[in-house]
Amino acid sequence: MSPERFARINQMLDNRQVDLTVCLDKVHMTNNIAAVLRSADCVGIYEIHAVWPDIDMRVSGNTASGSQQWVNTVKHDTFAQANHAFKAQKMQVLTTTFSDAAVDFREIDYTQPTVIVMGNERDGVSAEAIEAADQHIIIPMRGMVQSLNVSVAAALVMYEAQRQREQANMYGTRKLDHVYCQTMLFEQGHPIYANACRRKQIPYPAIDLQGQIVADSAWWQRMRAPDPQALLAKSEIDSTPDETLLIQ
């Protein structure tokens, strides 16, 4: 890993906000999910949540143009399941919805542990999310349309949260646990070795303060050993009868 990449990954890890997240409540359009993931990465969110009760709604991991490498997606079957996780982290639940109790999204204190719940493209947030919210929020509209695209709305709220947190000096101090950071440094700094570890079922090594792999000779021997999957594939090919002989 180059010193420049090592420094950039560390800078990203130092700015990640462990107590700020977004919950996509049955959002299913891949372009919207991708856009939300990209915005989340940009404002320093390391993990978002998605309520996907229908397996057909679940999208592949390559829809966010690389952002899924940096932002985890925690999947839930129901909003109640997601809300249980939020309450365990003592997060305030903000739901974007039109209601008499809704306030301008800029009036909220986002320096508190916060989850921003965004509804799906057709129906908005679910009744369960509306009921579970600590506060309803709205984005003021002055035109003819009544709502923004979900990814645009999510970005606006996230950037307000970033603005407040920057003013409160909440960026620049690492809050993520050591194991997660080591995993990220290895997977993103040494992707070829990381892929080999997954194929060969070898534990990840440590990464030192210069971004280099710290491993004993036994680890390197396992890394240099033939790939079991490749050997199995070769064995299957070698054991397959020659079709030309079968034809004869």
pLDDT mean for each 10 residues of the chain (248 residues):
93 96 90 92 95 62 61 92 94 90 94 94 85 93 82 95 97 95 95 93 95 95 80 49 44
Q: What is the pLDDT of residue 66?
A: 61
What residue numbers does the annotated binding site cover? 96, 139, 148
**What are residue 120's DSSP bridge partners?**
124
From the list 81, 86, 47, the residue with the least C-alpha distance to 177 is 47
- Map out the domains of the chain with their CATH numbers: 17-167 (3.40.1280.10), 178-247 (no CATH)
Classify 47 as helix, strand or coil: strand
**Closest CA relative to residue 58, chosen from 29, 21, 86, 23:** 29
Quote the pLDDT of residue 240. 47
pTM of structure: 0.82
At residue 122, the pLDDT reads: 75
Residue numbers belonging to the annotated binding site for S-adenosyl-L-methionine:
96, 139, 148
Q: What is the pLDDT of residue 228?
A: 65
Q: Which of 227, 220, 175 is nearest to 196 (CA)?
A: 227
pLDDT at 120: 83
Confidence at residue 216, expressed as pLDDT on a 0 to 100 scale: 95
